[in-house]
């Protein structure tokens, strides 16, 4: 089998950039991006991206330079997903919910050459840049050389990025931070610019910082190959057909919008941009543009469900299929699923993480499940499912032995992944990269089980598992019971110290607001504990329940368990719970899970 010819005709680098040129060639006049009064076609989007890419090149942006962006889901944010790599550079989208200090950290770590800032975030960006300047000055003074020109990161100072403001495309405000503005960059660019050829698909395309709750953010690097394959994966896994109308309720700064920035182009669809996830805007855009697909965290379900009547529109129209929602993060509780689906949505649950270029598992629906009760369907839907098609393998393993757990839906282990959709590594952090890739697998840090039918279900983040008397308690499992309580809006369960069991579960909940009936006053700690006793083995029942107005969240909308854990450490286990020892012990013998001492140790070290 020699003499076969590997050449440009039969071995082209896999890159999501080809989705745009293809869309421009095949669907030139179809709507690509809509944002209020602004509407582009694929031919226009391609031209705008080429113009912007040529302007970036004119600013001396070259290969593997980082271009950072701080912007909501606006057309510019969408375009940069193509234009920046078309200039050969690496796109770094920054979470807009971060504070100036975090943003400064990211700009410094990424050594961003250009920093695009939406006009709404100019003040925050200015603060971040000022911090960088101050740091530079301090570093220079420490070296006793206040005139030295910064050259690279090794001398602790670095060139500040060139700032380009993105003004409002629908009604320009004139707000600036420096001289350059996005639309001018597009306008002055070359419409016939020939994009940088991607010679090697193992070339960085994007840099996404994880929102570390306990540590410094880590810079996850995606390759063109990984981005391309992950995009195809998710279209396939979600079965997104052609001409989707995709509503941007998921921030594009989350794993490049779970790859749908590129995916909508691949499908020749239309992106409907949204600056915020206000209920009114969501409903209005769905109806106005016949939205077919959207992704969101479960928190957006609450926004949709709790919308005021004046903010709502009727989504369920005769003959129209439901709006497809892909959700990730915490498994949506059955009650929430039922409510959202009754409004005209259909929910698919996925599991992913930044390091896996977004969703790595999708709960692929099986036709035979249509026969089951709504409750049973919701239970199945809450599972994380099966690997997407470009993930080479997924498993749940005991990391000490690297043995797979049995497919019994009970034995927990760490979820490990492998495949070309996994990140290239953490930027400038070889140690963390090596630690993440062990024995040929990427370790997710998530604890799960495999059901007999091969579907995975996540039980917890490894650090969130509560180990009580040698038993592993999945905080997610307790939370899912709490979520079924009619008055609970948010729930989080963490470990609190226990004199006898080591740890025991402690619950934090917030209650629903828009229901003014008197029964709410009856929701007490004792009532919630009683409710849990009816629905959980006793050893899993929270020993303490604390009510909060709103649970603390990370910048990406995840509940901040780290903070809750700190609070829980101060709690004392009440007397009446101490007296429950016996019943707890009995229950422990009745449930499955880790009983072997070595396994318990392995779990606690996950």
In the complex, which residues of this chain contact its own copies (CB under 8 A)? 1, 3-12, 14, 18-19, 21-22, 25-29, 64, 90, 202, 204, 221, 226, 229, 232, 235-236, 239, 241-243, 266, 268, 364-367, 386-387, 389-390, 392-393, 417-420, 422-425, 427-430, 433-434, 437, 440-442, 453-455
Of 9 and 570, which CB lies nearer to its own copies in the complex structure? Answer: 9
Rounded to an integer, what distance in angstroms lies between the CA atom of residue 165 and that of residue 162? 10
CB 369 within 8 A of CB 268: no
User: From the CB of 38, what's the least distance to its own copies, in Å?
Assistant: 22
Rounded to an integer, what distance in angstroms lies between the CA atom of residue 206 and that of residue 216? 19
Of 221 and 545, which CB lies nearer to its own copies in the complex structure? Answer: 221
User: From the CB of 1, what's the least distance to its own copies, in Å?
Assistant: 5
User: From the CB of 313, what's the least distance to its own copies, in Å?
Assistant: 22
User: From the CB of 214, what's the least distance to its own copies, in Å?
Assistant: 23
User: From the CB of 504, what's the least distance to its own copies, in Å?
Assistant: 36
Of 96 and 444, which CB lies nearer to its own copies in the complex structure? Answer: 444
Rounded to an integer, what distance in angstroms lies between the CA atom of residue 195 and that of residue 227? 18
Of 14 and 185, which CB lies nearer to its own copies in the complex structure? Answer: 14
Of 25 and 194, which CB lies nearer to its own copies in the complex structure? Answer: 25
User: From the CB of 386, what's the least distance to its own copies, in Å?
Assistant: 4
Rounded to an integer, what distance in angstroms lies between the CA atom of residue 445 and that of residue 120? 35
Nearest of 192, 132, 141 to residue 162 by alpha carbon: 132
Of 205 and 509, which CB lies nearer to its own copies in the complex structure? Answer: 205
Of 319 and 499, which CB lies nearer to its own copies in the complex structure? Answer: 319
Q: Where are the alpha helices (DSSP H) in 444-596?
A: 475-484, 525-535, 561-569, 575-578, 581-590
Biggest alpha carbon–alpha carbon distance for the chain: 81
Rounded to an integer, what distance in angstroms lies between the CA atom of residue 178 and that of residue 115? 11
User: From the CB of 25, what's the least distance to its own copies, in Å?
Assistant: 5
Share of the chain residues as helix, strand and coil, in percent rounded to the nearest 5: 40, 25, 40
Strands 323-327 and 66-70: unpaired
User: From the CB of 419, what's the least distance to its own copies, in Å?
Assistant: 5
CA 21 to chain centre: 27
Phi, psi of 406 (to 5 degrees): -65, 155
Question: What order of strands is seen across the sheet that includes strand 345-353?
Answer: 38-41, 31-35, 270-272, 245-247, 293-296, 323-327, 345-353, 358-362, 386-387
User: From the CB of 343, what's the least distance to its own copies, in Å?
Assistant: 24
Of 10 and 596, which CB lies nearer to its own copies in the complex structure? Answer: 10
- DSSP class of residue 270? E
Of 198 and 541, which CB lies nearer to its own copies in the complex structure? Answer: 198
Rounded to an integer, what distance in angstroms lies between the CA atom of residue 496 and that of residue 502? 8
User: From the CB of 78, what's the least distance to its own copies, in Å?
Assistant: 19
Phi, psi of 237 (to 5 degrees): -65, -35
User: From the CB of 556, what's the least distance to its own copies, in Å?
Assistant: 23
Of 275 and 418, which CB lies nearer to its own copies in the complex structure? Answer: 418
Residues in the chain: 606
Rounded to an integer, what distance in angstroms lies between the CA atom of residue 407 and that of residue 233? 25
Of 172 and 438, which CB lies nearer to its own copies in the complex structure? Answer: 438
Strands 466-468 and 456-461: unpaired
User: From the CB of 574, what's the least distance to its own copies, in Å?
Assistant: 45
User: From the CB of 393, what's the least distance to its own copies, in Å?
Assistant: 7
Q: Left (φ > 0), alpha (ψ -120 to 50) or beta: where does 176 sit?
A: beta
State the helix-helix crossing angle for 42-58 and 17-26, rounded to 10 degrees: 140
List Cα–Cα distances, 530 to 49, 333, 582, in angstroms.
59, 19, 17
Of 303 and 389, which CB lies nearer to its own copies in the complex structure? Answer: 389
Rounded to an integer, what distance in angstroms lies between the CA atom of residue 398 and that of residue 59? 51
List Cα–Cα distances, 161 to 55, 129, 141, 385, 464, in angstroms.
16, 9, 21, 42, 38
User: From the CB of 73, what's the least distance to its own copies, in Å?
Assistant: 24
Residue 46: CB atoms within 10 Å? 25
User: From the CB of 9, what's the least distance to its own copies, in Å?
Assistant: 4
Rounded to an integer, what distance in angstroms lies between the CA atom of residue 465 and that of residue 471? 10
CA 283 to chain centre: 22
Six-digit token string for 304 = 């949709």
Of 66 and 250, which CB lies nearer to its own copies in the complex structure? Answer: 66
Of 244 and 298, which CB lies nearer to its own copies in the complex structure? Answer: 244
Six-digit token string for 307 = 């919308």
Six-digit token string for 212 = 């570390």
CB 211 within 8 A of CB 217: yes
Rounded to an integer, what distance in angstroms lies between the CA atom of residue 479 and that of residue 399? 26
Of 64 and 141, which CB lies nearer to its own copies in the complex structure? Answer: 64
């Amino acid at each position: 089998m020699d003499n076969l010819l590997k050449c440009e005709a039969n071995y082209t680098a896999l890159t999501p950039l080809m989705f745009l040129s293809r869309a421009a060639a095949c669907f030139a006049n179809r709507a690509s991006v809509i944002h209020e009064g602004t509407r582009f076609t694929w031919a226009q989007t391609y031209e705008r991206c080429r113009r912007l890419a040529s302007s970036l090149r004119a600013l001396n942006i070259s290969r593997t330079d980082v271009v950072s962006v701080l912007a909501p889901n606006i057309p510019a944010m969408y375009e940069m997903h193509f234009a920046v790599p078309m200039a050969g550079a690496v796109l770094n989208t920054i979470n807009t919910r971060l504070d100036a200090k975090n943003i400064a950290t990211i700009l410094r770590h990424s050594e961003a050459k250009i920093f695009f800032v939406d006009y709404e975030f100019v003040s925050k960006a200015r603060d971040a840049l000022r911090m960088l300047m101050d740091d530079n000055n301090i570093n220079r003074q420490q070296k006793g050389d206040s005139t030295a020109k910064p050259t690279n990161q090794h001398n602790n100072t670095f060139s500040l990025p060139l700032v380009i403001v993105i003004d409002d495309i629908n009604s320009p405000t004139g707000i600036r931070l420096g001289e350059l503005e996005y639309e001018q960059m597009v306008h002055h660019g070359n419409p016939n610019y020939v994009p940088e050829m991607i010679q090697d698909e193992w070339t960085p395309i994007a840099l996404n910082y994880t929102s570390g709750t306990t540590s410094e953010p880590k810079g996850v690097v995606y390759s063109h190959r990984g981005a391309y394959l992950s995009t195809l994966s998710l279209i396939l896994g979600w079965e997104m057909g052609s001409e989707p109308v995709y509503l941007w309720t998921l921030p594009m700064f989350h794993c490049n919008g779970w790859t749908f920035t590129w995916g909508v182009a691949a499908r020749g669809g239309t992106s409907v941009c949204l600056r915020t996830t206000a209920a009114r805007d969501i409903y209005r855009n769905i109806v106005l543009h016949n939205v077919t697909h959207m992704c969101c965290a479960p928190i957006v379900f609450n926004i949709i469900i709790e919308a005021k009547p004046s903010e709502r529109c009727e989504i369920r129209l005769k003959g129209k299929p439901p709006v497809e929602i892909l959700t990730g993060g915490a498994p949506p509780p059955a009650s929430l699923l039922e409510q959202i689906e009754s409004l005209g949505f259909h929910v698919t649950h996925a599991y992913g993480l930044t390091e896996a270029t977004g969703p790595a598992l999708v709960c692929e629906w099986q036709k035979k499940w249509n026969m089951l009760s709504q409750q049973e369907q919701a239970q199945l839907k809450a599972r994380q499912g099966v690997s997407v098609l470009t993930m080479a393998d997924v498993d749940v393993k005991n990391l000490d032995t690297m043995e797979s757990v049995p497919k019994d839906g009970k034995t927990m282990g760490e979820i490990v992944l492998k495949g070309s959709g996994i990140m290239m590594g953490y930027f400038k952090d070889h140690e963390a990269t090596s630690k993440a890739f062990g024995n040929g697998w990427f370790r997710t840090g998530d604890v799960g089980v495999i059901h007999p039918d091969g579907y995975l279900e996540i039980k917890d983040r490894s650090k969130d598992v509560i180990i009580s008397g040698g038993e592993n308690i999945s905080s997610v499992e307790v939370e899912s019971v709490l979520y079924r309580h009619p008055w609970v809006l948010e729930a989080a369960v963490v470990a609190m110290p226990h004199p006898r069991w080591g740890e025991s579960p402690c619950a934090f909940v917030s209650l629903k607001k828009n229901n003014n009936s008197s029964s709410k006053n009856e929701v007490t700690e004792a009532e919630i504990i009683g409710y849990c006793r009816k629905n959980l083995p006793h050893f899993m029942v929270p020993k303490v329940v604390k009510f909060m107005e709103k649970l603390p969240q990370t910048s990406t909308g995840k509940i901040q368990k780290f903070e809750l854990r700190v609070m829980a450490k101060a709690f004392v286990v009440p007397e009446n719970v101490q007296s429950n020892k016996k019943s707890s012990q009995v229950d422990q013998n009745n449930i499955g899970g880790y009983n072997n001492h070595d396994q318990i140790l392995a779990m606690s070290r996950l």
